Structure 1
C-alpha cells in the first residue's frame, strides 16, 4: 500500500494538473512529492553516496603546498601580511579534491565528508594524503576537480530531474552532449552570478578603496550593505539551477525564469526556500554526531544523500509547477 501511494504521488509529480483553476500543491505537499518520487527510484542517491565515500576513503590532495607558497609571500608584507599568512596556514590540510562536490550558493551536491575537518577523518586512519606536490600542480588539480565536479553535478541534476518530473530520459545522464551542455550552462550561471555581484558591488568596492586612501575604515559597513543585494539575489535566483536541469535552458534564461517564479509566488517561494535552507543546512550539522566512527559516518552519508536529494527533487517540482502555471516555456520532451 505504501509503495502504491508513492507511485500515485510520482504519477502526479510527472503529470501535474496545470489548469489555472486547480490549486497547486503547497510547500509541504511539494516536499512530500519530492520524497515520494525519490522512494520510487531510490538509486538516484547512489552518485552522491559514492562521491562521499571517495572523499572519505580515496586519495586526498592537500592544499599545503599552495598555502605555504602564499603564506611565504604574505609573510614579507609586514604585520598584516603575517596575520594573513597565519590564516592561510589553517587551510593547509584542505582536500582540493572536495571541489568534485559541486557547491553553489543555491545548490550543493549532497556530501557530508566535505563538511568534516581532516582531524576528524584522521581518527579512522583510512586516508592517504599527498602533501608535497608542487604548488602549481595543486592549482591545476583544483581546476580540473572543479570542472569535473560541474560535469558530475550536471549529470546528477539531470537524473534527479528525470526522477522528479519525468523530464528527458535516463540516457541523457550518460550522453556527453546533453551532460556537457548542462555543465556549460552551470558554468555560465556561475560566471553570470559573479558578474552580477561584481557589477552591484563595484561602486562600494571603489568607495572602500577611496576611503582607505583617506584613512577611513568602512569595511564593516560595506559588508553590511552588500548583504542586502546578496540576499535578494539568493532569493530570486534560488530556482535557477533547477531551471537549467528541468527546462534545459541557458544561464540567463534560467535566472529570468527563477526570478519570475519567485516574483509570481513570492510568499510560497519564501517559505519553501527557508524550509529548504533549514533542512539542507541543518541536517548535515546534526548528522555530525554520527561521524565519530566509521559505521556512524557511513550512516550519516546515506541519510544526508537521501534528505538532500529529496529536497532538490522537491525544489524542481516547486519550480516546474509554478513555471508552467506562469506559462514559461517547457523543455520540448515534456510537452
Structure 2
C-alpha cells in the first residue's frame, strides 16, 4: 500500500461511516461557538519577572523581543487548543486576527492567576488525550476491517486513554533527558561567548527522525490494542522497514492539512459557511488519521508475514 492508497482508503472509510468525524467536528464547534481560555496570567507573570530583571540589568539585550513574544502569546493563545492534541480542527489553526463569522461574540475566560494556568494546562492535556482516545477508538475498527460496534468502541476508550497518557509520559521523560545535557551545553557555550544557534539547528534533524519513528505509536495503541512500550516498538519496527514511505505520508498529511484550510477560510468569513467548512475539514482530518491507521496495519501485516516466513525457513533447516 502506497501513500496515496492509504489516504484514499482512509477517506473512503470515513465516507462510508461519517459519524467517525464527530470528535474533530465537536472540537471545531467548541472553537466556533465557545469562548477562549487565555494564558495571559502566566505570560504576564513572566513579563513582570523579565522587566524586573531588566531594571536590575540582569537580562540579555534581546529580552525586549522575548517580552514582545510573551505579550503576543498571552493575547493569541487559546488554552482550549490543548483539547485537540493529535487532531486537526480547522478554527484552531486560523489566526486570531482573521475574521470568522459567528452567530454571537466570543468571550475570553481569564483564570486570574498563573498557578491556575498551569493546573488548567495539565487538566486540558489529560482531557485532550481522552478525546483523542475517543477518536482513535472509533476509527480502529475501520483499520482492522471489523464490523463497527459503538459499545465495543466505547469500551476501548478508557484503555486507549490510559495508554496514551503512558505514551505521553514516556515521550516527555525522554525529551527531558535529552534536553538537560543540551541546556548545560548551551549554557556553557553562552558563557564562553559562542553562538549556540548552529548546534540547535543540527539537533533538528535527529529530532525529526525520532518523530518519524514514533509517529505511528498512537495508531499502534488503537489498532493493535497494545501498551505504550509495545506501541513504540511496533512503530519503530514498521517505520524502520518503510522510512521513506512513512516520511512521504507525514509530508502528504502536512501539505493537505495546511493546504485545505486556505480554501475553508473563504467559507468561514460568513457564519452560514462555517458549518460547511467544519464538515469539510472534519472529513479531510479524520480521513488522514484513518490513512495513518491503514498504512500502519498494512505495513505491520507485511512485516509480520516476513518474520513468519523467516521462522518457517529456520524450522525447515
Do 1:162 and 1:170's aligned partners in 2 also have CA atoms closer than 8 Å? Answer: no
Structure 2 unaligned spans of 5+: 55-60, 306-317
Change (3 A) 1:119 1:208: same
Give the aligned CA root-mean-square deviation in angstroms. 2.3
Do 1:159 and 1:173's aligned partners in 2 also have CA atoms closer than 8 Å? Answer: yes
Alignment of 1:60-139 (within 5 A): 60-78=36-54, 79-93=61-75, 94-102=77-85, 108-120=86-98, 124=102, 125-131=104-110, 133-139=112-118
Alignment of 1:33-72 (within 5 A): 33-72=9-48
TM-score w.r.t. length of structure 1: 0.80
Q: 90-99 vs 129-138, which deviates more? A: 129-138
Report the Cα offset of residue 127 of structure 1. Answer: 1.0
1:174 is matched with which residue: 154, 168, 192?
154
Q: Which residue of 2 aligns with 1:247?
A: 224
TM-score w.r.t. length of structure 2: 0.84
Counterpart CA distance in 1 for 2:244 and 2:98 is 40
Alignment of 1:134-283 (within 5 A): 134-166=113-145, 169-175=149-155, 178-218=156-196, 220-283=197-260
Describe the superposition over 1:30-57 as per-residue Cα deviations: whole angstroms up to 9, x where unpaired. Answer: 2222122111111111221122111221
Describe the superposition over 1:155-187 as per-residue Cα deviations: whole angstroms up to 9, x where unpaired. Answer: 111101123324684224433xx3222122212
Report the Cα offset of residue 221 of structure 1. Answer: 0.8
Number of residue-to-residue matches in the alignment: 296
Q: Which residue of 2 aligns with 1:28?
A: 4
Report the Cα offset of residue 140 of structure 1. Answer: 2.4
Counterpart CA distance in 2 for 1:123 and 1:67 is 29
Do 2:101 and 2:268's aligned partners in 1 also have CA atoms closer than 8 Å? Answer: no
As a proportion of its length, which structure holds more helix?
Answer: 2
SS in 1 for 2:257: helix
Describe the superposition over 1:273-327 as per-residue Cα deviations: whole angstroms up to 9, x where unpaired. Answer: 3222222233234433333222333222111110011111111011011112212
Do 1:38 and 1:164's aligned partners in 2 also have CA atoms closer than 8 Å? Answer: no
SS in 2 for 1:270: helix
Counterpart CA distance in 2 for 1:186 and 1:76 is 40
2:293 is matched with which residue: 305, 316, 319?
316
Report the Cα offset of residue 258 of structure 1. Answer: 1.1
Structure 1 unaligned spans of 5+: 1-24, 103-107, 329-335
Q: Which residue of 1 aligns with 2:303?
A: 326
